[in-house]
């Protein structure tokens, strides 16, 4: 966003940073349905006109504020869950379950955390194999087909 606002004057980025911050804080997020500023501070950010004309605000009881704030957070939670479910449905359309047979050969990707300290190096191979898939359907039993150098997890 900052790159779009700065455009031809990249050396003036620090002078335009406040404008970019205000634009981001007042922009409505499509997942939560609210701006980040309104979620944190329970109100929209003040524009120039709001600062010039001081609003007359009456004091509300603290309980109504707490109820309003908690209901707003609940709405944000519900919208985020709906949004995540919508994204999950779109992604799951392309997902296929992988079913292996005992004769299939598979590549194994072992993460750095699975190795003993100081045995994994940056240039180590990312994947190892091919190994034959075990007879059982449990994915944890894959270690039976591995060589002895990999069986320390």
pLDDT at position 87 is: 92
Per-residue confidence band for 138, with pLDDT thresholds at 50, 70 and 90: low
The mean pLDDT value for 46-75 works out to 69
So where are the chain's domains?
2-92, 105-150
Beta-sheet pairing, 105-108 with 128-132: antiparallel
Contact of 44 with 93, CB cutoff 8 Å: no
Q: Give 150 or 85, the one with higher predicted confidence.
A: 85
Mean of per-residue pLDDT scores for the chain? 75
Mind listing the pLDDT tens digit for each residue in 92-128?
988 888 777 777 887 777 777 777 777 767 777 767 7
pLDDT at position 119 is: 75
Q: How far apart are CA 43 and CA 22, in angstroms?
A: 14
Query: Would you tell me how many other CB atoms lie within 10 Å of the CB of residue 5?
Result: 14
Q: How far apart are CA 123 and CA 99, in angstroms?
A: 31
pLDDT at 54 exceeding the cut of 60: no
Listed in sequence order, the residues at least 6 apart from 20 whose beta carbon sits closer than 8 Å to its beta carbon are 1, 2, 5
**Measuring CA to CA, which residue among 100, 110, 86, 87 is closest to residue 132?**
100
Lowest-pLDDT range, 37-41, 72-76, 107-111? 107-111
Per-residue confidence band for 147, with pLDDT thresholds at 50, 70 and 90: low
pLDDT at 151 exceeding the cut of 80: no
The owner of tokens 């634009």 is 23
pLDDT at 153 exceeding the cut of 50: no
**Measuring CA to CA, which residue among 128, 125, 122 is closest to residue 143?**
128
């Amino acid at each position: 966003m900052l790159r779009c606002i700065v455009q031809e004057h990249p050396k003036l980025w620090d002078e335009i940073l406040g404008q970019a911050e205000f634009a981001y804080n007042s922009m409505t997020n499509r997942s939560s349905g609210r701006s980040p500023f309104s979620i944190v501070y329970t109100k929209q950010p003040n524009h120039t006109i709001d600062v010039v004309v001081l609003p007359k605000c009456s004091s509300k009881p603290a309980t109504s504020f707490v109820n309003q704030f908690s209901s707003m957070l609940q709405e944000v939670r519900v919208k985020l869950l709906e949004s995540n479910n919508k994204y999950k449905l779109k992604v799951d359309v392309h997902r296929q379950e992988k079913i292996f047979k005992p004769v299939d050969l598979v590549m194994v990707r072992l993460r750095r955390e699975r190795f003993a300290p100081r045995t994994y190096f940056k240039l180590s191979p990312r994947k190892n194999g091919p190994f034959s898939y075990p007879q059982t359907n449990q994915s944890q039993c894959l270690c039976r087909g591995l060589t002895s150098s990999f069986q320390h997890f």
